[in-house]
Amino acid sequence: TPLLSTRHLVRRFRDADRPAVDNVCFELYRGEILALLGPSGCGKTTTLRMIAGFETPDSGSVLLGERDITNVPTQKRRIGMVFQDYALFPHMTLAENVAFAMTHLPRKQRHARALEWLALVNMAELGERFPEELSGGQQQRVALVRTLAAEPELVLLDEPFSNLDAGLRERTRKEMRELFKKTGTTVILVTHDQAEAMTMADRIGVMRQGRLLQVGPPQAVYREPADAFVAEFLGHTNLLEGEAAGLSAATALGPISLNTQAHGPVTLSLRPEDLALVRSEDPDSAIIVDREFRGHDYFYLLARGDSRYCAIVPNHDPLEVGARVRLQTAGEASVLPDEGRSQTQH
């Protein structure tokens, strides 16, 4: 059985024209890291607050194991939440901060256990320091360890890295993922940053306007997005109209292989890394209108007639702005199961 299930969670705030959280259902298994990903205002925090017990759903339920905890007070849920502003107690040492959370242990054992927890993030020797002596990243790690030290069933993180600068954020993500895996912690991470969701999570749930649109492993939501919004939120893409016949579709770029069988009119998502550019003076070739050097590759913007395309190409042999190129597909497009589309599967 899942560790956590949300069943048809709905939360509508007064005066709002649509629910902040609209029929959200998902399951989370022990040891798993799930990212709730979506733009600002899509209902991520409200979902998390209902799971934590800070917010009561208008309808729907939250189950921890088989127990319905929808109306159980926060402090009895055994759920740990780390907030963006990770406030440590300034007058306590790091070890004291961590020990403070261990109310489940006899007082005498807490200090030694606190140092063990700090050792897990390579900070044991800093145990007698005070928070103000640490960098933001270090404080964030201690705040997390303090949450883990209470041995919650589930840890909730709401945009935990948004106060850290870019380089530190990347390192912290990796360290935290390792820490969660090492300790077998079950986690829900809320973020609007697709790179963060992809690198941290075992599964990603993409939200929009209160709804959970798709839940799946990072590769699946990236390669097989449920709709155009998911496709575009997870990275750059080319949305193409096509006429499918089995595993291939006719499009403005010529025939394209599909990731799944389809027939009739379809909308396709073709990732920029699945487009290859071949120099060509052909009258109907595309023209490079912009390019961005990104170290390991170039990101190109192309125009052909009224259509715009994007392509990502490894950085050897770069093409210059103004060059004419033929757009050649170098990978499969995914079929978007768009509503209103008469796409049939055989």
* Binding region for ligand ADP (CB under 6 A): 13, 20, 38, 40-46
Q: How far is the CB of 149 from ligand ADP (least distance, A)?
A: 26
- Looking at the Cβ atoms of 15 and 339, the one nearer to ligand ADP is 15
Identify which range of 29-37, 42-50, 234-242, 295-303 contacts Mg ion by CB under 5 A. Answer: 42-50
- Looking at the Cβ atoms of 45 and 140, the one nearer to Mg ion is 45
Q: How far is the CB of 192 from Mg ion (least distance, A)?
A: 8
24 binds, among ligand ADP, Mg ion, none (CB under 5 to 8 A by kind): none
Identify which range of 30-38, 43-51, 96-104, 228-236 contacts Mg ion by CB under 5 A. Answer: 43-51
Q: How far is the CB of 258 from ligand ADP (least distance, A)?
A: 33
- Looking at the Cβ atoms of 97 and 191, the one nearer to ligand ADP is 191
Contact status, residue 179 vs residue 156, Cβ threshold 8 Å: no
Within the chain, what is the greatest distance between any pair of CA atoms? 81
Size of interface with Mg ion, in residues (CB under 5 A): 1
Q: How far is the CB of 46 from ligand ADP (least distance, A)?
A: 3
Q: 202-223 in b/e burial notation, b at 16+ Cβ within 10 A?
A: bbbbbbbbbbbbbbbebeebbb
Q: How far is the CB of 210 from ligand ADP (least distance, A)?
A: 7
Q: How far is the CB of 17 from Mg ion (least distance, A)?
A: 19
Provide the β-strand partners of residue 268.
240, 335
Burial zone of 61 (CB within 10 Å; 0-12 exposed, 13-18 middle, 19+ buried): middle
Q: How many CB atoms lie within 10 A of CB 164?
A: 17
- Does 45 contact Mg ion by CB under 5 A? yes
Identify which range of 37-45, 257-265, 285-293, 329-337 contacts Mg ion by CB under 5 A. Answer: 37-45
Residues 6+ apart with CB under 8 A from 115: 95, 124, 127
- Does 191 contact Mg ion by CB under 5 A? no
Identify which range of 45-53, 72-80, 144-152, 294-302 contacts Mg ion by CB under 5 A. Answer: 45-53
42 binds, among ligand ADP, Mg ion, none (CB under 5 to 8 A by kind): ligand ADP
Residue among 260, 271, 265 nearest 232 (CA): 271
Read off φ and ψ for residue 23, nearest 5 degrees. Answer: 65, 50
- Looking at the Cβ atoms of 39 and 246, the one nearer to Mg ion is 39
Q: How far is the CB of 64 from ligand ADP (least distance, A)?
A: 21
- Looking at the Cβ atoms of 45 and 172, the one nearer to Mg ion is 45
80 binds, among ligand ADP, Mg ion, none (CB under 5 to 8 A by kind): none
Q: Which residues would be at the binding site for Mg ion (CB under 5 A)? A: 45
